[in-house]
Chains A and B, each alone.
Chain A
Amino acid sequence: MFDFGNLVLNENMKIYRRARVWIMWGLMVLAVAAVSGIAYSSSANPPSMWQMVAIEMIVMMPLVSIFAVIVAADIVAGEFTAGTIKLLLIRPWSRSKILLSKYAATLLFGFFSMALLYAALLLVNIIFFGYEKGIKAAEVFGAADPAMSAWSYFNQSFFMQFISLIVTVTLAFMISSVFRSGALAIGLSLFVVLMGKTLGQLFGLIDRKWVDYVLFQHLDLTRYIGMGSSGANGGMTLGFSLAVLAGYYVIFMALSWFVFTRRDVAA
Chain B
Amino acid sequence: METSAIVQFRNVTKKIGGKTIIDGLTLDLPRGEVFGFLGPNGSGKTTTIRMMVGLMRMTEGEIRIGGASIATDYEKAIRHVGAIVEKPEMYKYLTGYQNLLHFARMIPGVGRNRIDEVIRLAGLDKRIHDKVKTYSLGMRQRLGVAQALLHKPSLLILDEPTNGLDPAGIRELRDYLRKLAEEEGITVFVSSHLLSEMELMCDQVAIIQAGKLIDIRSLRSGDGSQEAVPVPVQFELDRPDEALAVIRRSIRPAGDDGGREIRASVREGLLVIDALREDIAELNALLVKEGIRVYGIRSKAKSLEDQFLEVTGGESVV
Contacts and interface: CB of A to CB of B under 8 A. Distances in A.
A17 interface: yes
A83 B87 CA distance: 8
Interface stretch (A47-55, A91-99, A163-171): A91-99
Interface in B8-41: none
Contacts of B147: 87
Contacts of A17: 93-94, 98
Interface stretch (B72-80, B193-201, B213-221, B272-280): B72-80
For chain A, give the interface size range: 20 to 34
A265 B103 CA distance: 19
B55 interface: yes
Q: Is the interface of A mostly helix, strand, loop or mixed?
A: loop
A9 B84 CA distance: 23
Contact of B50 (A9, A14, A264): A264
Contacts of B93: 17-18
Contacts, number: 76
B75 A82 contact: no
Nearest to B74: A94
A223 interface: no
Given A82-B89, A86-B89, A90-B85, A265 B105 contact: no
A92 B89 contact: no
B188 interface: no
Nearest to A89: B55
Nearest to B78: A92
Contacts of B76: 92
B50 A92 contact: no
B287 to A, nearest CB: 58
Nearest to A10: B102
Contacts of B86: 83, 86
B75 A87 contact: no
For chain B, give the interface size range: 20 to 34
Contact of B75 (A6, A7, A14, A92): A92
Interface string A77-121: 000001110110111111000000000000000000000000000
A92 B106 contact: yes
Interface in B93-129: 93-94, 98, 101-103, 105-108
A171 B84 CA distance: 32
Contacts of A84: 89-91
A90 B53 contact: yes
A18 B79 CA distance: 30
B106 to A, nearest CB: 4
A61 to B, nearest CB: 28
Contacts of B98: 13, 17
A10 B147 CA distance: 15
A199 B261 CA distance: 90
Interface string B250-275: 00000000000000000000000000
A22 to B, nearest CB: 12
B89 A266 contact: no
Nearest to A97: B75
Nearest to A101: B106
Residue among A9, A89, A92, A266 with most chain B CB within 10 A: A92
Contacts of A10: 102, 105-106
Contacts of A3: 108
B6 interface: no
A6 B89 CA distance: 21
A14 B81 CA distance: 24
Contact of B107 (A18, A83, A92, A94): A92
B85 A86 contact: yes
A91 B103 contact: yes
B311 interface: no
A2 B108 contact: yes
Given A265-B55, A265-B56, A91 B106 contact: yes
Residue among A7, A18, A87 with most chain B CB within 10 A: A87
Nearest to A83: B89
A4 to B, nearest CB: 11
Given A82-B91, A87-B89, A92-B78, A9 B55 contact: no
28 contacts: A3-B108, A7-B105, A10-B102, A10-B105, A13-B94, A14-B102, A82-B92, A83-B89, A84-B89, A86-B53, A86-B55, A86-B85, A87-B85, A87-B89, A87-B90, A89-B53, A89-B54, A90-B55, A90-B83, A92-B75, A92-B78, A93-B75, A94-B74, A264-B55, A264-B57, A265-B50, A266-B50, A266-B56
Interface of B: 50, 53-57, 74-76, 78-79, 81, 83-87, 89-94, 98, 101-103, 105-108, 147
